[in-house]
Chain A
Amino acid sequence: MDRLIIALPKGRLLAEALPLLARVGIEPEPELADEESRRLLFRTSRPEIELVRVRSFDVATFVAFGAAQLGIAGSDVLAEFDYSEIYAPLDLGIGHCRLAVAVPEAMRAGDDPRRWSHVSVATKYPNLTRRHFARRGVQAECIKLNGALELAPALGLCGRIVDLVATGRTLRDNGLVEVERILDVSARLAVNRAALKTRSDEINRWIARFKEATDGQAT
């Protein structure tokens, strides 16, 4: 049987994904959960399945280019890249959060959004951000950061940020308030298009198993 690679995101989502994988019948070697481990490729209880652990944004890239046939990726990441070679057939019901615009408390008070023609925004999501503001006729100049976004307004890097918000605590701790929601986010099963076409029986079987495992959890 051909090897099947599943790409998993590092960090918070990985912890939520592991029980799901177990319900699907894929038991990874224990080192996968060890964030300190420097390994990238992990074996599982199934000889044909291997797991790669990569940054959340890279899950989409691995799947789009067929380096992994399946992946678990946030809908934020999938929407940001909008890869034509990825299908996202299943909402896995984990990793819930939202992509939102946040501004400093003081700015919100004196601001009139109808007057904007141009805003500067720090974000990991330049495409979604530009699209969001363009829909209302505002040009967004995006400053791409990979972390510590909440610091950017306080240090004068930009006026506002677009970032993932789960509880809102990080925002509050940094004197920011959420003003607009762009996208409700949850983790999806990502499937490489060519793999689904050329290995359709096998891939469809895995999609069905993930669906059972997800439905089982919801009830």
Chain B
Amino acid sequence: MADQPLDRALLPAGLADGLPPFAEQEARAIERLTAEFAAEGYQRVKPPLVEFEDSLLTGPGAALAPQMFRLMDPVSQRMMGVRADFTPQIARIAWSRLGNAPRPLRLCYAGQVLRVRGGQVRPERQFAQVGLELIGAEAMAADLEVLLLAAGALGAVGIAGLSVDLVQPTLVPAICRGHGLTVEATAEARAALDQKDGGRLARIGGRAGDVLRTLLEAAGPADRARATLAKLDLPAEATSDRDRLVRMIELTRSAAPDLALTVDPGEYRGFEYETGIAFAFFAKGLAAELGRGGRYRLAGGETATGATLYMDSVLKALPAPAAARCVYLPAGTPRRQAVELRRQGWRTVAGFEPGDAAAEARRLGCSHVWDGSAAREVGHG
């Protein structure tokens, strides 16, 4: 190998090579997640990596404009965008090419997204999203299906200490409107709720101030939040949002009593395009979210709900992969024997030169060596 200047290996900020064993761990986790989705009737779709920017920015994509890499298409002379999120593409497929497919429509996907800037806590600019979308079902059973399927799939890939946070991002705007708060007071309430700053909320007087402070205090474990929310005296236009959230808490608690569930009725950050029940997934000890989801509208007005998981976070929350059982086959091992071992589930690594087979097995990171009749463990020499 000729010496290369090491700076040639530098990658742009937020981009990284996936190496063994983590690249395989991620691929297997993606395979498992999509298999879980498929098992509940979610059919795989595969939109292109790049498409015209105006289609990526309609409906649920509008909030992502500052995050999108753009390039000029020399063929059509139109501006294209690299997807920063899958949901706008799935939404486009659902209203266009699958517009007359029977509803409810269940779709899932897995692939890479690219963003102009990484987040402060998740610096990745390119990462894999794996998700599902359920289009055209108004019933709360649909919200529940998506939430439980995504949570169950995370459990199936081995996430421990999963915690789901339920939110209803339209509740606070409805309360502010119902109490006739000015645009300025609403913005102030939003900012205070985003910080969870009760003192700042206290400066918003009247009934609205009381209600918003109660919402803030309700944030936390689901059962307590449900009790507080159910008692809350709200303006008429906010009651349906509240009732929906309470109902969702009850349904989730009874369907999955062991799932760690919190509720944050004042939360809004990052849920800019959700129009109904929404949620975020956390794992104990991990600062970044594992994924999030919620209800939104397609460009044509049709209702949909979905969830997307961020594989970089998922991988950080998983234990390191167990070393694969792998057997070293000394030079000259018959091909028939190798095929038979692979059929039994072994991974095989073929040797090319004669020599100390056990030492060579160790050097190449194999757990076993083939001694002509059996696979022997090589230990850590």
> Would you call B270 and A89 a contact (CB within 8 A)?
no
A90 with B283: CB separation less than 8 A: no
A200 close to B262 (CB less than 8 A): yes
Whether A64 touches B121, Cβ cut-off 8 Å, given contacts A192-B287, A197-B262, A197-B280, is yes
Q: Please tell me if the beta carbons of A199 and B284 are within 8 angstroms of each other in the complex.
A: yes
Closest chain-B Cβ to A28's Cβ sits at a distance in Å of: 24
Segment at the A interface, from B179-187, B191-199, B227-235, B331-339: B191-199
Report A61-90 residues with CB < 8 Å from chain B CB.
64-66, 81, 83-85, 87-90
Q: Which of B120, B221, B269, B289 contacts A200 (CB 8 A)?
A: B221
Residue A191, interface by CB 8 Å: yes
**Chain A residues within an 8 Å CB radius of B284:** 2, 198-199
Closest to A191 in B: B196
B45 → chain A closest CB, angstroms = 30
- A201 at interface, CB cutoff 8 A: yes
Determine how close the nearest CB of chain A comes to the CB of B118; give it in whole angstroms. Answer: 12
Interchain CB contact under 8 A, A66 and B120: no
In the bound complex, CA of A198 to CA of B121 (Å): 17
Say yes or no: A84 contacts B119, CB within 8 Å: yes
Q: Which residues of chain B are near A90, meaning CB under 8 Å?
A: 197-199
Asked if B350 is at the interface of the complex by the 8 Å CB criterion, the answer is no
Interface residues of A in 84-139 (CB under 8 A from B): 84-85, 87-91
* Docked complex Cα distance between A90 and B199 (Å): 7
Question: Secondary structure of the A side of the interface?
Answer: mixed
Is B165 part of the contact surface with A, judged by Cβ < 8 Å? yes
Is the C-beta of A170 less than 8 angstroms from some C-beta in chain B? no
Q: Is the CB of A198 within 8 A of B195?
A: no
Q: CA of A91 to CA of B197 in the docked complex: distance in angstroms?
A: 8
B: contact size bracket: 20 to 34
Question: Which residues of chain B (243-276) have a CB below 8 Å from chain A?
Answer: 260, 262, 264, 269-270
B196 adjacent to A194 (CB under 8 Å): no
Chain A residues whose CB sits within 8 angstroms of the CB of B287 once the complex forms: 64-66, 85, 192-194
Known: A194-B282, A197-B282. A87 touches B120 (CB 8 A): no
**B65 / chain A contacts, CB cutoff of 8 Å:** none
Residues of chain A within 8 A (CB-CB) of B280 are: 197
Q: Which residue of B lies closest to A61 (CB)?
A: B120
A69 and B289 CA atoms in complex are apart in Å by 15
Indicate with 1 or 0, residue by residue over B269-303, a CB within 8 angstroms of chain A CB atoms. 11000000000101111111100000000000000
Interface residue? B220 (CB, 8 A): yes
Residues of B within 8 A of A (CB): 119-121, 161, 163, 165, 195-200, 219-221, 260, 262, 264, 269-270, 280, 282-289
Apart from the given pairs A83-B120, A196-B219, 12 other A-B contacts in the complex at a CB distance below 8 Å: A2-B284, A65-B121, A66-B287, A81-B120, A84-B119, A84-B269, A85-B121, A90-B197, A91-B199, A191-B196, A194-B286, A200-B262
